[in-house]
Structure 1
Amino acid sequence: MTHSYQSQTLSGFLDSMQQDEASAYSLFGPTSYPESVAFWHDPSAPAMAVAPSYTSKEASLLNPLDQKKHKRTRSGCFTCRTRRIKCDETRPLCERCRKGSRECVYPSSTSSSKGSVRTTAKSRAGRPPSQGSDSSGKYEIEAISPLDPIIDEEEPDSAISESRPSPPATTRPDLHKSQSSQSLRKRSIKHTDAGSFIKEQSSSPSAESSHFESMSARSGSIGHSTAEMISNARLPDDLRFYLNFHQEFLTTPHFFLRQSCSRFIQHSLIELALQYEPLLYALVGFSAYHHTLRSPGGKLYTFLKYYNKALILLRKSLGSGEEHSEATLCTVLVLTTFEEYIGDWMNLIDHHRAAHALMLELLTPESANVNELHTNIFLWYARFDVVVGILAGTETVLNRDWYLLKEQYDADQAAIYPDDPSKQLALVASINRRFGLDMASLYAKLSRGMVSMEQFAAQNDQLGLMIEHAKAILRTFDDYEYKVQEFPHQLPLTEDDVTDPYAPGGLHRGPLWDFNYAWIDILSTETMYRYQAMLVLGQNQLPDLQELAEEQCRLIETMDRWPHKDNGYCIMFKNSIGIASMFLPKEHKYQMWSRRKMALMEQNGYFITPRFRSALAAIWQTPEIEHWWLPNEEGYTDIIREVRALTAERLSQPRDELRENVRDMKYMFRGMNLDGREDESPSSTKSGHP
């Protein structure tokens, strides 16, 4: 890796970023964070509310949850203390343990026995095993089975915070690997006692909940225990509402992940959030963002106040010296996800770098395979790593070994379970991920003169073989049983339709639904691959590019017509719709099809960057789309205008060349003649620069 920050620790990175006075909105920006970003649309707030400097004393004053803690008795039994409920201290068996038929253990009189009993009690409560080092310096990952807290019948509102540890670290028997002590030494979560939360007076958005109940496309199989967990935590009404909205409406596509990560999104993230306040507010802010976009009269302040609070709490946590955990990393990744949604790729880089430092601290390439929580975190992080590398024309930040080991693991699993669609999809995703890694690396080397044009051409051909391998895997599941042969509720086709979405066999359903997303991703990858080869090698790829674009168009439209699609499905088109639109036939109906899909994504919260809008406007010779995608401002709501204005303000001052390149999508549009595509000579596409 050539990046200077590759080996930086998080604390070192924090110090360096705090010296950057221009980073007004970054996670680690100046020591004074401008709260005006959050409050500029709040009528009741001062015009220029600015948070004070981040000394630990002052930062605590910003946190309404930092109230005086209730004193806890230290003479109760360990069982009640572990369950975070009040013990009546009846000996030898307290009333709660007697009623629950639990073992009741009290502290003994000697300090040595206290330590022994405490260790036993924690073990019984399902806490993670000791992280001390052994002679080999390595640990086998153990499955954790936490004890669920139980609320006594006579105290329905005594609800405790869910003080469980991180979700079980699933040991996968087919890969006998161990983790280094470095990867496990900070696994413990700094638990936040949700029971100490003081309910704040707030305007609950629950009155609008009925509007969204009909929009949920999720079964209740995942959410029962999580809903109970949210209900049991003592939270202000607004936080509880948005966590429930997350549970009922948001899906894995909203987090750029696949169905295999459902438990992580619907349970693990919420469980971690109830233990770590910065993640709680980040997750609530993300949920509030999606709720606001669908609410009549929604305002920026509704979700930005939570986003702002998450930043404050996270910076306080990072500056306090407390141990970092998976919850810390997930907080940064939620913020990174939010930045991508609003199209703020420059500030996304700050979050991405912070996430990289935490990845090196908390995970290892091995744990990303054998630990379920770490696997989901890696998949979440790796996407940002690859995309930023491609957009900036640089290599990924995370070392290549992580990606290679993940692909090898997925290949082994696919070989062991050839009939398991999830294993094959995981392998295809790994191949596609490494393709992005290798493609970014190859073009970065070419730009630096590290490879000759002949070497580039040879390695570029190898990239093409990777795409064909992934497509061959997907084709093995072209099973008639799960191919849609007949659509329910078909609409009559008109001359404005760009494809026949009802063609038999054009869509996977049921357990193979994610194969549709996988095909779109691979086709999008191939489009980018051929487009870049055309620019660099002077090959006329336009016929192939148009064919690929039309196939993506067909698949996207077919998924759009399917009545059983999941919430947020259109977000998964983000990598495809933009580049496919560049190469669809230059007919008005194709252009309007693309514009409707772009508008749909923005209405669902995923904003197309201004740079891409201007590039597409030049290609289509339709300058009006720089203002809005549809004629007569159809669907152009006030909240969309406000989010766009916010993003434009944040993108106005890039701090360095990397951020400027990402903002301008330099790699994607370099060498492209944006005056139009009438001249189909490949050499002509190399002459201009946007």
Structure 2
Amino acid sequence: MIPKSNRTRKKSSQGSEQNKHRRTRSGCYTCRSRRVKCDEIHPICERCKKGGRECVYPDISTSTKQGSNSPPQTIQAGAQGSPGSSWDEYEDGLERTPLEATPSEDEIHKMMAANFGTAPKSNAHCSSVSQHMGGQNNTAGTGSETSPPGLDIGASPTPSTEGSVGYLSYQAFGTSRLGTTSSPSVISTNLRIDWSQLPPDLQFYLAYFYQNLTHLHYSLKFDPGNVLKTTFLDAALRNEALLYALVGFSAFQRTLHNSDGKIQDFLQYYNKAVSLLLESLRKGERHNVGTLLAILQLATIEEFLGDWINLLGHQKAAYEILTELYTPQTIMENEMSRVILGWYLRFDALASLMTGSEMVLDREWPSYAQDFFEQQVSRESTNLNWKIELVFAQLRLIAMDMSTVFAKNGKEGITHGQLFEEIEAIGKRIEAWKTQMDPSLQDSRYLVTDFSGAPAFDPDDIVNPYMPGVIYGGPLWVMNVAAIDWHSISLMHLYQTALTIKTQPSRELCLKAYASCQLFESVELWPGSPPGTVLALQSSLGISCSFLPRDQRHSMWARRKLATIESNGYIYPYTFRTKMSEIFRDRSCIDWWLPNDEGYPPIIRSIRKFVEERSSPAIDLPGEDLRDMKQIFASLKLDDARSRLPPFVFKEQGVIPEVAVVGSQTGWAASHLEPGNMQDVEWLNLAEGGAYGLHAGQGPRGLDQNDSAHRLPQRGFPQGG
């Protein structure tokens, strides 16, 4: 089916605007499916009576009933900035969501023949899935005791060699060296998942998911219990909407790395997931963990497709089910629910960052999570995983509190002095996160000093990604992710502070932007980093690139990194590309990041075009703010020569802590530094350093004239700034 153009959709929606009514969940299913107003007369409404149709009303108690093991909780739609959207609005959004290029039966057969050698019988995958899942509860739980042929749940899907240690092997390595003893566990070998009865295409993509994707593809920072490869997969086999959503995401990822990949290869599964979820919601079926996971998985797909407006709708729905199924206390009871909390909070934080509003979930949730991990660390002081969970919980709570504080700016009921005190308190917590970190999370034994097998050093680089001692490996690899998150939070705090108190942003913005970029590239290029690394760090990179100098060299570095991320399937929205093109002073970035469409994958081009055609106007103010990315870009005035970007660092006597950056004798501001005017730039030195930042005497590119034994990939290594 050929998708209708935006113009057609807009015209038809405008024409019917005057007849639009607000649906409620109390109308009969028949009227709701026909999208007409129901008079709600029982037992048969007037429309169904006249048309001779079956009239069935939803069982309200069924749709709102708590699970037997879930504590009762009332959803307060108006509290804490709750989205307040009805389920009918979410259903309307789902009806607009499906991508309309569902492949024909012949195309499906051709794809199946190419992938599996034989094509399935017509509609085989739908009927087989229903039959397979018919005997299972529609909830998340443990699976069967039989594992699919050739797959061992306990095996690491990544190599575990000395030179390139797979992430999953880090857990066992950490257990033997650092004494991790209990939950969060090392890789679970108890759960055996059997999908052998599913159709071949679903088996294929589940196997692809298991063998090639990691929690980092979901931007989930830490998964010590390997939940995505065990409990999550088992939940998918018990919830059909989740199954198709997961398979759709796996098919999407494979399509990106298939030279002959087409969008039809994954759209059929995505559409099926949306249809199944919509059907479940319309029937008023009781919400469960599978429903919540299906919505979160669809939200992840929407994020990858660059449709952040639809993502916002999924986030609202996830909020309502999350608060229906759990309390701040019960959600911490097992690893799957803790992953769910982190997954949801990430979307909540993303919406807050882009709209400039508070996060939706009540503060009690991340606050209790932090308390929970503090208690676990206290009880098991040698358990490294608990300590890692704690540092991420601290960052989540800081991010939430920061969004709340800055959302107060300009509102009544708070004085300028009170606001500044709260901003200052947040700043102290950001610094304390690093200075008070547990020493075991800074163990120098795991600092990376060998980059053998990495690409050769690029003379045009703005940092030296191969400087020894910048990043961690082994069980502390995940601390690189935490450090980059910390830099991003610190960057946004410094920038928002400057906007709030109406002062020029401090030089620390440049320092932290450089440090964050160096960490990103070091982790990206180190051969020991697991698959999905750049995807997990993409949001932090986008923030850092906003505060780099605007000369050609820095712009091209940033553009190459953004192109790398998008080539891995993370489609940046049109608004983001537009705003960044203004920073780079090159409108061609809207079409593709690199000149002359260099490295522009055809599949990414097709997906971009398709998503832009199906995009619909924002439906509310938060959606409009999200489309405009208000928090980051609204105050930059990027088209103004007097833009409020951070000034460059002045060259001064003495030392500059942590990181050295480019400086000039006259300082830097957007109006003074234009592309090509870099001849006066000098590299400043450091007095001290450490991991999570640049080191002494080596500048932003890590140049150390006195040390040639770094075992770096050598090719055109620069001998000066």
> Is the shorter-chain TM-score for this pair beyond 0.5, marking a shared fold?
yes
Deviations 1:139-169 (A, max 9, x none): xxxxx9x694569xxxx99xxxxxxxxxxxx
CA distance in 2, matches of 1:411, 1:434: 13
**Are 2:467 and 1:503 equivalent residues in the alignment?**
yes
8 Å Cα contact 1:394/1:440 also seen in 2: yes
Taking only the aligned residue pairs, the percentage that are identical comes to: 32
CA distance in 1, matches of 2:450, 2:247: 40
1:273 to 231, 236, 241: 236
**Are 2:263 and 1:300 equivalent residues in the alignment?**
yes
Q: CA deviation at 1:627?
A: 1.1
8 Å Cα contact 1:619/1:676 also seen in 2: no
Q: CA deviation at 1:283?
A: 0.4
Deviations 1:41-82 (A, max 9, x none): 99869xxxxxxxxxxxxxxx9993389969x9xxxxxxxxx9
**Are 2:483 and 1:519 equivalent residues in the alignment?**
yes
1:323 to 286, 293, 314: 286
**Are 2:547 and 1:583 equivalent residues in the alignment?**
yes
CA distance in 2, matches of 1:147, 1:64: 21
Alignment correspondent of 1:14: 87
Q: CA deviation at 1:473?
A: 4.2
> What code does the residue aligned with 1:279 have?
L
The 5 Å alignment of 1:213-252 reads 229-232=193-196, 234-252=197-215
| Distance change >3 Å, CA 271–CA 657, structure 1 → 2 | same
Alignment correspondent of 1:607: 571
CA distance in 2, matches of 1:471, 1:572: 21
Q: CA deviation at 1:314?
A: 1.0
CA distance in 2, matches of 1:248, 1:304: 21
**Are 2:314 and 1:367 equivalent residues in the alignment?**
no
> What code does the residue aligned with 1:486 have?
D
| Distance change >3 Å, CA 9–CA 240, structure 1 → 2 | farther
Q: Report the 3-state secondary structure (helix = DSSP H, G, I; strand = E; otherwise coil) of the residue aligned with 2:609.
A: helix
Alignment correspondent of 2:516: 552
2:637 to 673, 680, 683: 673
Alignment correspondent of 1:435: 398
| Distance change >3 Å, CA 302–CA 576, structure 1 → 2 | same
Q: CA deviation at 1:577?
A: 0.9
Q: CA deviation at 1:586?
A: 3.0
Q: CA deviation at 1:680?
A: 5.7
Alignment correspondent of 2:252: 289
CA distance in 1, matches of 2:296, 2:130: 30
8 Å Cα contact 2:222/2:389 also seen in 1: no
| Distance change >3 Å, CA 347–CA 263, structure 1 → 2 | same
1:64 to 126, 138, 142: 126
CA distance in 2, matches of 1:494, 1:66: 52
> What code does the residue aligned with 1:656 have?
D
Q: Report the 3-state secondary structure (helix = DSSP H, G, I; strand = E; otherwise coil) of the residue aligned with 1:279.
A: helix
8 Å Cα contact 2:213/2:532 also seen in 1: yes
CA distance in 1, matches of 2:165, 2:445: 27
Alignment correspondent of 1:635: 599
Q: CA deviation at 1:649?
A: 2.8
Alignment correspondent of 1:48: none
CA distance in 1, matches of 2:538, 2:88: 35
> What code does the residue aligned with 2:102 have?
F
Alignment correspondent of 1:37: 100
CA distance in 2, matches of 1:585, 1:10: 38
Deviations 1:615-641 (A, max 9, x none): 111122111111101122122122111
| Distance change >3 Å, CA 388–CA 552, structure 1 → 2 | same
Alignment correspondent of 1:109: none
| Distance change >3 Å, CA 656–CA 682, structure 1 → 2 | same
> What code does the residue aligned with 2:86 have?
F
8 Å Cα contact 1:216/1:248 also seen in 2: no
Q: Report the 3-state secondary structure (helix = DSSP H, G, I; strand = E; otherwise coil) of the residue aligned with 2:233.
A: helix
Unpaired runs of at least 5, structure 1: 46-60, 73-81, 85-121, 129-143, 158-214, 686-690
The 5 Å alignment of 1:466-485 reads 466-474=429-437, 476=439, 477-485=441-449
Q: Report the 3-state secondary structure (helix = DSSP H, G, I; strand = E; otherwise coil) of the residue aligned with 1:462.
A: helix
> What code does the residue aligned with 1:13 have?
S
The 5 Å alignment of 1:391-430 reads 391-430=354-393
8 Å Cα contact 1:535/1:672 also seen in 2: no
Q: CA deviation at 1:418?
A: 4.3
Q: CA deviation at 1:590?
A: 1.9
Q: CA deviation at 1:315?
A: 1.4
Q: CA deviation at 1:682?
A: 7.9
| Distance change >3 Å, CA 238–CA 492, structure 1 → 2 | closer
Q: How large is the RMSD of aligned CA atoms in angstroms?
A: 3.6
8 Å Cα contact 2:75/2:324 also seen in 1: no
Alignment correspondent of 1:257: 220
Q: Report the 3-state secondary structure (helix = DSSP H, G, I; strand = E; otherwise coil) of the residue aligned with 1:37.
A: coil
Q: CA deviation at 1:3?
A: 8.7
Unpaired runs of at least 5, structure 2: 1-73, 109-122, 150-163, 173-186, 648-668, 671-721
8 Å Cα contact 1:467/1:526 also seen in 2: yes
> What code does the residue aligned with 1:641 have?
R
Deviations 1:176-207 (A, max 9, x none): xxxxxxxxxxxxxxxxxxxxxxxxxxxxxxxx
8 Å Cα contact 1:424/1:473 also seen in 2: no
8 Å Cα contact 2:636/2:645 also seen in 1: no
8 Å Cα contact 2:406/2:496 also seen in 1: no
8 Å Cα contact 2:98/2:270 also seen in 1: no
> What code does the residue aligned with 1:658 have?
P
Deviations 1:581-602 (A, max 9, x none): 1222333222222111111111
| Distance change >3 Å, CA 492–CA 379, structure 1 → 2 | closer
| Distance change >3 Å, CA 648–CA 491, structure 1 → 2 | closer
1:535 to 466, 483, 499: 499
Q: Report the 3-state secondary structure (helix = DSSP H, G, I; strand = E; otherwise coil) of the residue aligned with 2:562.
A: helix
Deviates more, 1:313-322 or 1:329-338: 313-322
Q: CA deviation at 1:495?
A: 2.8
**Are 2:624 and 1:660 equivalent residues in the alignment?**
yes
8 Å Cα contact 1:392/1:661 also seen in 2: yes
CA distance in 1, matches of 2:494, 2:228: 34
2:561 to 597, 617, 620: 597
Q: Report the 3-state secondary structure (helix = DSSP H, G, I; strand = E; otherwise coil) of the residue aligned with 1:296.
A: coil
Q: Report the 3-state secondary structure (helix = DSSP H, G, I; strand = E; otherwise coil) of the residue aligned with 2:460.
A: coil
CA distance in 2, matches of 1:494, 1:295: 28
CA distance in 1, matches of 2:269, 2:508: 46
Alignment correspondent of 2:16: none
CA distance in 2, matches of 1:44, 1:504: 51
Q: Report the 3-state secondary structure (helix = DSSP H, G, I; strand = E; otherwise coil) of the residue aligned with 1:229.
A: coil
CA distance in 1, matches of 2:106, 2:641: 48
| Distance change >3 Å, CA 417–CA 218, structure 1 → 2 | closer
Deviations 1:340-366 (A, max 9, x none): 111111111111111111111111111
8 Å Cα contact 2:76/2:82 also seen in 1: no
CA distance in 1, matches of 2:388, 2:80: 32
Q: CA deviation at 1:17?
A: 4.1
